[in-house]
Amino acid sequence: MSLDGDTLSVIENPVAVSHPFHSEKTAGVAGAKGVQGWLKGFQSTTQVKLLLRPSSSQSPVGLGDTKETSFCNVTEDISVSDSRKVFYRISPENSLLEIQLGKLPTWLPVCYERWNSSLGTLVCRQLGYLRLTKHKGVNLTDIGPNYTDGFIQITSEQKSSLENMWQFRRSCITGKVIALQCFECGTRAKLPRIIGGVEATLGRWPWQVSLYYSNRHTCGGSIITSQWVVTAAHCVHNYRLPQISSWVVYAGIVTRSSAKTAQHAGYAVEKIIYNKNYNHRTHDSDIALMKLRTPFNFSDTIRPICLPQHDYDLPGGTQCWISGWGYTQPDGVHSPDTLKEAPVPIISTKKCNSSCMYNGEITARMLCAGYTEGKVDACQGDSGGPLVCQDDNVWRLVGVVSWGTGCAEPNHPGVYTKVAKFLGWIYEMIENY
């Protein structure tokens, strides 16, 4: 993806940003009848279309005529366009890198010739991993006679893109192929499964963090490395002269009351970077990064989430999960102490942009998830938290809780920042800062 040179805004001590809201009613997820109306993006109370609950005398902003809404039936577009010509995977049996060129039906190992660690990093990032951990050449004689259909080799001429670097070969000159390991993420410890529950157990979402501002839960976030957290730009944008030291990140907790205890002292924030293309009116590019002063100690309850694979769109209907401490009722009163979770299906942008949903407001950098009938959703206090989907046996951060009309309103599902559109920006920020 292309990356504009100016897509960066860095906040350091002292800093001028303004918090989306400072009322004491900030925090929580949704749940009285099932998980009702929880986890949704929040902004300043002047922006009615976000999360202000309309009075009974008003119709919800953007909801339109209820007669029209009842007849609005946009079919879900379950097909997904995949523009990739090259597909990558790492064999779980022997860690060999395997590539499928679009026109070839089989997965083939990659010859060791011309290989280097920089290519390894690029391949790992294509797969949604932040970096390369280990790589080596493996003798073909050591892996048995499984690979007889040929090999993929790096072309001799320097190509501008990773996609164009590969060519089919009948044999490898060195008799070696590539094995590699990428930065581990998106896994969780073996835990008892929850049947029908909405409260999350410790370690179930080990990448989920609580961002405290001035000693109060304000937003959620997701761990992507030992020192970096992804959250929403609107959580950190436009503050009134706060100090960076006012922010503390709590990880490895499911109850907010356990924060600030001896076991959970919290992590100080060194730097906040929000995407400079963030637009607080349209909520476009609503993504930010936090760098910690000291790294997380990874454990069964604190682990990083994988990023999405490069250039891949999830089809509508894909089952994903949201989690957070946001309001459990749209009235903004019930904010739970315990982390809540709920399954939500992806809604195609075509459907979400229809006249009875968001009527064209969903940009290419947003995605929708939830239910046409409402009932399960993100709400205030969940902003910046994760929308995660399981893929290739790992969990991936597909979305960041951003905004929506009300909480769990019919025909107004949650809107999330589409993380796949910001991979280049994330990699660049982490490398440069």
Q: What's residue 334's pLDDT?
A: 60
Top pLDDT among 103 and 295 is at 295
pTM: 0.80
Instruction: Confirm whether 414 is domain-assigned.
Output: no
What is the residue-averaged pLDDT of the chain? 79
Local confidence band at 262 (pLDDT 50, 70, 90 cut-offs): low
Q: Let me know if residue 348 belongs to a domain.
A: no
| pLDDT greater than 70 at residue 75 | no
Tell me if 11 is assigned to some domain: no
Average pLDDT estimate for 199-205:
86
- Residue 138: inside a domain: yes
In a domain, 291, yes or no: no
The per-residue pLDDT for 330 is 61
Residue type, 317: G
- Between 231 and 7, name the one with better pLDDT: 231
**In this structure, is residue 120 part of a structural domain?**
yes
The answer to whether 3 touches 425, Cβ cutoff 8 Å, is yes
Higher pLDDT, 138 or 190: 138
Which residues are the active-site residues? Answer: 234, 286, 383
More confident residue, 54 or 353: 353
pLDDT (0 to 100) of residue 9? 38
Mean pLDDT of 258-263: 68
Most confident region among 83-92, 219-228, 259-268, 304-313 by mean pLDDT: 219-228
Whole domain around residue 145: which residue ranges?
86-182
Per-residue pLDDT, averaged over 209-223, amounts to 93
Domain membership of residue 149 (yes or no) is yes
pLDDT at 250: 95
Out of 137-141, 180-184, 199-203, 207-211, pick the least confident. 199-203
- Please tell me the total count of domains within the chain: 1
Q: Is residue 298 part of a domain?
A: no
- We report the CATH number of the domain holding residue 93 as 3.10.250.10
Distance CA 28, CA 334 (A): 7
Percent of the chain with pLDDT over 90: 55
pLDDT score for 345: 96
Average pLDDT over residues 200-209: 91
